[in-house]
Amino acid sequence: MNELVQLAHRVLPGGHFGNMASDIALVRGEGGHVWDSEGREYIDYLLGSGPMFIGHAHPEVTAAVLAQIPLGTTFFANNPAGIELAAAIVDAMPCAEQLRFLASGTEADMYAMRVVRAFRRREKILKFEGGYHGMSDHALMSLAPRRPGNFPHPIPDSAGIPARVQDEVLVAPFNDADAAVALIEAHHDELAGVILEPFQRLIPPVPGFLQAIRDVTARLGIPLIFDEVVCGFRFGYSGAQGHYGVTPDLCTLGKIIGGGFPLAALCGRADIMAHFDRAKVGEEGFLMQVGTLSGNPVAAVAGLATLAVLRRPGAYDDVFARGRRMMAGLTEALRRHGVTGQVVGEPVLFDVVYAAGEIRNHRDTLRADGAVQAAVNRHLRAGGIMKGDSKYYLSTAHTDADVDRTLSLFDEALGAL
């Protein structure tokens, strides 16, 4: 254990920031690669948990940030870059008429749930089992229950959550349109809103699922929130709502829009977003939202530079092509070695789930062989692949050589099982 890791274990609970394991510290990133404190190089499929979609230290992002820093790093006031970034996002996202900035996806999802409560004057939120919406009390309900309960009753995912929160959340099964629609109809008069990841962790929506949820919420006047913190600007310039062709009432964004700096956003219909404007809704309907770093100019210029790169014709073509090739290569390796498993996801975000049968929801993922997954991940890490426990994030900076090396190491890992 090197000195830096020892120091981390002395001053940090568990020896880490709460994200990755404590056995590594990363010191540099460039394009699709990172280097650790021992000088080891890795092909990086972690991408800072997703933000670095155009690669680490992209020269255009770096130049924009370096130009802004001498002018000031935060103001707690409107700034030109923040206003221009808000306009760019509103232009890009089909649901967006107005926007508020925040500093994290957790905040964006928390305020999304709060604003629909203000709009509907009701308290309950319906979410989907396995859906991740940050670290707030209401979000940490049935994110990853090891022993799932009966729908619609939620299961807390963390200590420290007040018991009464369970009475304010309903849980539905992802990718089961009939069950979800029935729950929404049965509880429609209690519901403030419905929140879901249109692409849940690794699991794409089955055909018709998102549209069914959109139809029932529209018919009953219940705001629909898409959590696009992960998929926004990743699945295309118009996000998952553009990719899947279903428009919510609100969406939350993060990761890519800050270009590697802390920034998130809540955007959507102007009549719902009006609750952030006291002059429009009065004291009774006003929702207070203040954040020291909301719309921070350094994050805003990084976001603007990132979106400028992604607006260029063909910006997504190569990364989707490489993702499809990598998914096909992983699938072929599983077949060749006779290992039970399947590649689940979309070409820019996927992984192998070591289980038989269709993977449609969180409960299906519980069939996965975690020991096999851990063994493969260890082999990949030893060979110079950096990834999370259960995701390959692809970037526009990854190369064909990166994909070839990854497939070769994956083949070795399966052979060593």
Domain boundary among 287, 310, 333: 310
Clarify whether residues 221 and 121 are in a common domain. yes
Give the Cβ contact number of residue 80 at 10 Å: 11
pLDDT at 118 over 90: yes
Distance separating alpha carbons of residues 263 and 306, to the nearest angstrom = 13
Clarify whether residues 85 and 159 are in a common domain. yes
221: region left, alpha or beta (phi > 0 left; psi from -120 to 50 alpha)? left
Q: 308: which 2 tokens?
A: 């400028």
Number of domains in the chain: 2
Residue with tokens 């092509």: 321
E strand or H helix that includes residue 344: strand 342-346
Q: Please indicate, yes or no, if residue 148 is contained in any of the structural domains.
A: yes
Q: pLDDT tens-digit profile of 325-384?
A: 999 999 999 999 999 999 999 999 999 999 999 999 999 999 999 999 999 999 999 999
The set of residues, in sequence order, having a beta carbon less than 8 Å from that of 283 and lying 6+ positions away, is none
Distance separating alpha carbons of residues 65 and 70, to the nearest angstrom = 9
Q: Please indicate, yes or no, if residue 66 is contained in any of the structural domains.
A: no
pLDDT at 86 over 70: yes
Clarify whether residues 291 and 326 are in a common domain. no
Give the Cβ contact number of residue 391 at 10 Å: 18
Q: Which residue has the higher pLDDT, 9 or 49?
A: 49
Bridge partner list, 377: none
pLDDT at site 2: 80
396: domain CATH number? 3.90.1150.10
116: domain CATH number? 3.40.640.10
Distance separating alpha carbons of residues 367 and 142, to the nearest angstrom = 17
pLDDT at site 6: 84
pLDDT at site 13: 87
Distance separating alpha carbons of residues 33 and 47, to the nearest angstrom = 9
Bridge partner list, 125: 169, 193
Domain boundary among 256, 281, 310: 310
Q: 396: which 2 tokens?
A: 């526009």
pLDDT at 251 over 90: yes
Domain boundary among 291, 310, 329: 310
- Which residue in 128, 119, 126, 100 sits closest to 191, CA to CA? 126
Sign, Cα dihedral of 176, 50, 194, 218: negative
255 carries an active-site annotation: yes
Annotated active-site residue in 127, 255, 387, 391: 255
DSSP 416: T
Q: Please indicate, yes or no, if residue 241 is contained in any of the structural domains.
A: yes
pLDDT at site 3: 83
Q: pLDDT tens-digit profile of 274-295?
A: 999 999 999 999 999 999 999 9
Q: Which range of residues forms the domain containing residue 13?
A: 3-57+316-415
Residue with tokens 């920031």: 17
> By the 8 A CB rule, do 376 and 352 touch?
yes
Residue with tokens 């014709």: 313
> By the 8 A CB rule, do 414 and 337 touch?
yes
Bridge partner list, 252: 227, 266
- What is the pLDDT of the chain when averaged over all its residues? 96
Annotated active-site residue in 44, 227, 249, 402: 227
pLDDT at site 1: 54
Clarify whether residues 25 and 154 are in a common domain. no
Clarify whether residues 105 and 253 are in a common domain. yes
Annotated active-site residue in 42, 45, 132, 316: 132
Clarify whether residues 130 and 271 are in a common domain. yes
Q: How far is CA 387 from CA 44, 69, 298, in A?
A: 6, 31, 27
**Peptide bond before 262: cis, by omega within 30 degrees of 0?**
no
Clarify whether residues 234 and 304 are in a common domain. yes
The least confident of 2-11, 109-118, 170-179, 218-227 is 2-11
SS in 3 state form for 83-140?
HHHHHHHHHHCCCCCEEEEECCHHHHHHHHHHHHHHHHCCCEEEEECCCCCCCCCCCC
Q: Please indicate, yes or no, if residue 65 is contained in any of the structural domains.
A: no
Give the Cβ contact number of residue 71 at 10 Å: 12
Distance separating alpha carbons of residues 168 and 138, to the nearest angstrom = 8
β-sheet with 264-268: strand ranges across: 98-102, 264-268, 250-253, 224-228, 191-196, 124-128, 169-172
> By the 8 A CB rule, do 241 and 248 touch?
yes
Taking residues 151-166, report their average pLDDT: 94
pLDDT at site 179: 97
Clarify whether residues 22 and 108 are in a common domain. no
227 carries an active-site annotation: yes
